[in-house]
Structure 1
Amino acid sequence: MAITGDVDVTMLRDALGALKDREQVAERLLAASERHSYDPDTELDWEQPFVDGLWFWPPELVSLYDTPLWYEMSEEQRIALSRHEAAALASLGIWFELILMQLLVRYLYDKSATSSHVRYALTEIADECRHSMMFARAIRRMGTPNYPPARGHHNLARVFKTISTTPGSFVATLLGEEVLDWMQRLTFPDERVQPLVRGVTRIHVVEEARHVRYAREELRRQMVHAPRWEREVTRLVSGEFARVFSVAFVNPRVYTEVGLDRREAIAQARQSAHRREVMQEGARRLTEFLDDIGVMRGLGRRMWRSSGLMA
């Protein structure tokens, strides 16, 4: 009986320690939010004209960069493609953020509303609302269509939001944030890119850094304390989400909008060694982290590799 009692005390001590650590992380993130949060409507000059000859996304990050089609396109057509891909990524960002907000609200439903952990999650939801509005305004300002995800992906996400495990939700959150964040970190200091796009990406990078920290810390705790079945389901669901993400990252309609043959453009983008390297580099920090905490195992790991986001 003494042994059982000692085990129970140890488990209780560990649980209390985890809660204390969770609260401390949340308090630091709340303080950072007070110092570095932005209102895009007033922070950015939405009326400034676009500069002729500047890109809307760094050319090296455009999906057809260094393909045979790229060298057949005029400079004007390449810049137009960067404009449409920037808009498509903003549309993808809105989709991901709507998913994230719903997952976060569901996650908070049974938690204490007075805890710092919950207060920060609500702060993050407010951030994501502003980001979605900022992306939507940027799409309108660029004069492009909105690029929603394919119907199949849209409906698959509806199912995912309903059945996702808590750690699975945080894996999906990180996947939706970290690859785009890596690209935006290259974009906002790049003077070849339009000032408005750089401003949008700067705001997103600063505020998303806090979101990534929050999701990583909680996912690490979840992968320690979640039951075995939940960890196994998370590995499989995250692998499937990676495969969806890798396909959804570029909307094929952008090719038609700039006068390219859609099938040929899709084929060349998929065969591009440069594009594969860009996507794997963008996901590298995430895949290394997921490997470290035990997400990248078994079939789930093979699914990540098949997605092209992991070598």
Structure 2
Amino acid sequence: MQCQSSTLSDTEEVSRRLLTSAARLSRNAMTEIDWNAPMDPAHYGCSPEWSTLYGTAYWDEMTEQQRVTLTRHEFASIMSIGIWFEMLLQQLVLRDQYLGDYHRAEYQFALTEIADECRLSLMFAKATEKMVGTSYRPHPRIGKAAKLFGATAKDEVAYAGILVAEEILDVFQRGCMRDDRVLPFIRTVNEIHVLEESRHMKYAREQVREAMAAAGPLKQRWSAYHTAVAASFIFTSLVRPQAYSDAGLDKYRAVAEMRRNHHFQSMVRTGCAHLMAFLDEVGLLTPAAAKVYRKVHML
């Protein structure tokens, strides 16, 4: 990625620090988690307050076991969609670093990130297998559109897309990783992912700053809007309607109540405040972009 020498120096220094952190702090879920341990039937898949139906009339009608089952399928859906967009992110990073400067820390951390994402996706796959025995995919139209995004996005759109996707997942996981009501192995999954993604998000922020410094006003507005559209599709895909059906609920009623759930909308807005502040700082929160974020309650 072409940039001014001062920005390159900043990016290189951040990459060096992240490489050191990855070598010292990386964790292996395949050996750290006992995948054969039994699950307590009373433990949730995510904190009840982070369920998309918490605070609705439908939630009030459920038995405690139905609530537990719902949160397990909801979080399995979130992890499945996490695998989907992490596979896209790996493509973006690998394409950006093709024929890169192999001796630089920036290139070496990019490959470290790709390796991390492979391990994290495998961790999510194992977790969904253990918790509910199924997985979820985005709507076919969104899946096809995302292929185009993965093949064409570059510079600030690519790395802002990476950042937004990771921040969205981070919001859910931080809200649940220390809750004793949640399955212990899911808490560990959340802790590992939050730790690894903190490095990835720092790297993405530096790449976004670098690219935005070289972008003109028209490109900044275009990038802001397209990043927001990509974020909205990712966010609205997190809990698939099939997850409600698999939890034994009426998916049509569940989706309708989720869409007007003010509690969930408030939780999301609060959780995304840090992300919105960064996008505003770098020029990616234009009025048109803000309108998209407000529509999906991220702002």
Match runs of 1:259-298 below 5 Å: 259-298=248-287
State how many pairs are aligned. Answer: 298
Partner of 2:168: 179
Query: Match of 1:223, as an amino acid?
Result: M
- For residues 64 and 122 of structure 1, do their structure 2 counterparts lie closer, same or farther at Cα, with a shift above 3 Å needed? same
Partner of 1:47: 36
For residues 69-97 of structure 1, the C-alpha deviation after alignment (integer angstroms, 9 at most, x for no partner) is 00001100000001101110110110010
Partner of 1:25: 14
- CA distance in 1 between counterparts of 2:97 and 2:215 reads 17
- CA distance in 2 between counterparts of 1:242 and 1:44 reads 31
Query: Match of 2:181, as an amino acid?
Result: R
- For residues 102 and 188 of structure 1, do their structure 2 counterparts lie closer, same or farther at Cα, with a shift above 3 Å needed? same
Partner of 1:299: 288
- CA distance in 2 between counterparts of 1:46 and 1:212 reads 28
Q: Say yes or no: does 1:161 pair with 2:157.
A: no
Moved more, 166-175 or 297-306: 297-306
Match runs of 1:1-311 below 5 Å: 15-310=4-299
- CA distance in 1 between counterparts of 2:13 and 2:86 reads 25
CA contact (8 A) 1:165 1:234 kept: no
- CA distance in 2 between counterparts of 1:116 and 1:57 reads 36
For residues 114-159 of structure 1, the C-alpha deviation after alignment (integer angstroms, 9 at most, x for no partner) is 1100100100000000001110111111133210111011011011
Query: Match of 2:209, as an amino acid?
Result: R
CA contact (8 A) 1:54 1:194 kept: yes
- Which blocks of at least 5 consecutive residues in structure 1 are unaligned? 1-11
- CA distance in 2 between counterparts of 1:104 and 1:230 reads 21
- CA distance in 2 between counterparts of 1:21 and 1:101 reads 23
Query: Match of 1:308, as an amino acid?
Result: H
Query: Match of 2:18, as an amino acid?
Result: L
Query: Match of 2:292, as an amino acid?
Result: M
Root mean square deviation, CA, Å: 1.5
CA contact (8 A) 1:65 1:274 kept: yes
- CA distance in 2 between counterparts of 1:178 and 1:243 reads 13
- CA distance in 2 between counterparts of 1:173 and 1:249 reads 15
Query: Match of 1:169, as an amino acid?
Result: A
Query: Match of 2:129, as an amino acid?
Result: R
- CA distance in 2 between counterparts of 1:187 and 1:153 reads 27
CA contact (8 A) 1:242 1:307 kept: no
Query: Match of 1:148, as an amino acid?
Result: R
CA contact (8 A) 2:161 2:230 kept: yes
Identity of aligned residues (%): 36
- CA distance in 2 between counterparts of 1:133 and 1:246 reads 21
Q: 1:102 Cα deviation (Å)? A: 0.2
Q: 1:307 Cα deviation (Å)? A: 2.4
CA contact (8 A) 1:95 1:148 kept: yes
Q: Which has the larger radius of gyration?
A: 1
Query: Match of 1:56, as an amino acid?
Result: G
Query: Match of 2:176, as an amino acid?
Result: T
- CA distance in 2 between counterparts of 1:165 and 1:102 reads 11
TM-score (norm 1): 0.92
Q: 1:174 Cα deviation (Å)? A: 1.2
Partner of 1:9: none
SS of the equivalent of 2:136 reads coil
SS of the equivalent of 1:49 reads coil
Query: Match of 1:147, as an amino acid?
Result: Y
For residues 2-56 of structure 1, the C-alpha deviation after alignment (integer angstroms, 9 at most, x for no partner) is xxxxxxxxxx9x9222221111111100000011111111111111110131111
CA contact (8 A) 2:72 2:132 kept: no
- CA distance in 1 between counterparts of 2:175 and 2:251 reads 27
